[in-house]
Amino acid sequence: MENDILKVLISEEALQQKVRELGAQISRDYAGSPRKLLVLGVLKGSFVFMADLIRQITVPCQVEFMAVSSYHAGVKSSGVVKIIKDIDIDPQDIDILIVEDILDSGLTLKYLKDLLLQRHASNIRIATLLDKPARRAADIKADYSGFEIPDEFVVGYGLDYAESYRNLPYVGVLKPEVYEK
Ligand code: IMP
Ligand code: MG
């Protein structure tokens, strides 16, 4: 597995430090809010970041997950998103913090945010561990962002290639020959 990694982009220590910073910032921002906070992870990629992040959040919160799949035409995201697992709570009058592994084209998060707004969520923010601004196609920005990264395919700390590498403790660049073969 480690042989498929070209280089470590973000070390385990740097990830933990950043998650502490994001958790502190989120805790400050939501402190004293009269509404309930729902931390909503987007499966599967966000699960490692999510598990670490919620333990740095000091305000009361609930946790839910949604699973979505985006249809890709070749390497381009089509923007058509299918909900595989939905939440069964009424988002009205709650604050939602969507947690994502990586903001790439942004089409998935744009779709999800619009869907939750249609359901009358009162306030929606986005926390993403990684951001690839060079590839943005949708008009969407993260409220909390861990690291801006170049346009390289990365794996580890929850992120996969063909469902593998999620268990690496760091974020690494995958050797191109792995997905070219
Ligand atoms: P988008 O923002 O709608 O294009 O899709 C974002 C999703 O694409 C993420 O949640 C990941 O599942 C996946 N993705 C995008 N870039 C990478 C990457 O470099 N490594 C692993 N998954 C990625
Ligand atoms: Mg994902």
pLDDT tens track, the chain, 181 positions: 889 999 999 999 999 999 999 999 999 999 999 999 999 999 999 999 999 999 999 999 999 999 988 766 544 566 678 899 999 888 888 999 999 999 999 999 999 999 999 988 889 999 999 999 999 999 999 999 999 999 999 999 999 999 999 999 999 999 999 988 7
- What is the 8-class DSSP label of residue 133? G
138-171 b/e with 16+ CB inside 10 Å = b?
A: bebebebbbbebeeeebbbbbbbeeeebbebebb
Q: Which of 102, 115, 129 to mutate to test the pocket of ligand 1 (most atoms within 8 A of CB)?
A: 102
Which of these is catalytic: 52, 95, 104, 131?
A: 104
What is the Cβ-side half-sphere exposure of residue 49, based on CA atoms within 13 angstroms?
35
Ion ligand 2, residue ranges at CB < 5 A: 45
Distance 23 CA to ligand 2 centre (A): 20
What is the Cβ-side half-sphere exposure of residue 163, based on CA atoms within 13 angstroms?
0
Distance 146 CA to ligand 1 centre (A): 15
Annotation says 104 is catalytic: yes
Whole-structure pTM value = 0.94
Residue 59 token pair: 């305000």
Helix (H) or strand (E) holding 109: helix 107-118
Distance 19 CA to ligand 1 centre (A): 19
CB 112 within 8 A of CB 86: no
